[in-house]
Amino acid sequence: MSTWMHTASYFPLWLTLTIIMAACTGLSWLLVQIVRRHQTYPQLKENNEFVGFTYAVYGVIYGVVLAFTIVTAWEHYSDAEHIVMHEATILSELWRDAGAFQPEVTIEIHKDIRDYVSSVIEHEWAELSRHGRHSKTTVAAYEALWSNSYLIHPETKNQESFLAEYLSKINELSGTRRLRLMYSSAEINGILWLVMLVGAVPTIAYTLLFSAKHGWVQVMITGFMIGLVSLCLLVALCLQYPFTGRVSVSVEPFVELAQTLDERAATDAARMPPVTQQLQETR
Is 90 exceeded by the pLDDT of residue 141? yes
Q: How far apart are CA 107 and CA 235, in angstroms?
A: 46
Is 50 exceeded by the pLDDT of residue 279? no
Q: Are 33 and 271 in contact (CB under 8 A)?
A: no
Is 60 exceeded by the pLDDT of residue 275? no
- pLDDT bin (cut points 50, 70, 90) of residue 130 is confident
pLDDT for res 9 = 57
Q: Are 239 and 7 in contact (CB under 8 A)?
A: no
Q: Is 149 helix (H, G, I), strand (E, B) or coil?
A: helix
Q: Are 252 and 234 in contact (CB under 8 A)?
A: no
3-state helix, strand, coil in the chain (%, to 5): 85, 0, 15
pLDDT for res 71 = 92
Q: How far apart are CA 151 and CA 158, in angstroms?
A: 17
DSSP-assigned letter for residue 148: H
Cα–Cα separations (whole angstroms), residue 254 to 81, 119, 167, 188, 263:
12, 10, 21, 27, 14
pLDDT for res 164 = 93
Q: Burial, 232: exposed, middle or buried (Cβ in 10 Å; 0-12, 13-18, 19+)?
A: middle
pLDDT for res 113 = 96
Task: Tell me how far the alpha carbon of residue 43 is from its chain's centroid.
Answer: 49
Is 60 exceeded by the pLDDT of residue 244? yes
Is 80 exceeded by the pLDDT of residue 229? yes
* pLDDT mean over 221-239: 86
Q: What are phi and psi of 187, to 5 degrees?
A: -130, 160
* pLDDT mean over 78-103: 94
Q: Comparing 17-21, 127-131, 191-195, which segment has the lowest mean pLDDT?
A: 17-21
pLDDT for res 7 = 59
Is 50 exceeded by the pLDDT of residue 1? no
Cα–Cα separations (whole angstroms), residue 190 to 9, 11, 85, 98, 182:
16, 21, 29, 45, 17
* pLDDT mean over 73-100: 94
Q: Are 230 and 20 in contact (CB under 8 A)?
A: yes
User: What residues contact residue 192 under an 8 Å CB cut-off, 6+ apart?
Assistant: 65, 69, 72
pLDDT for res 39 = 63
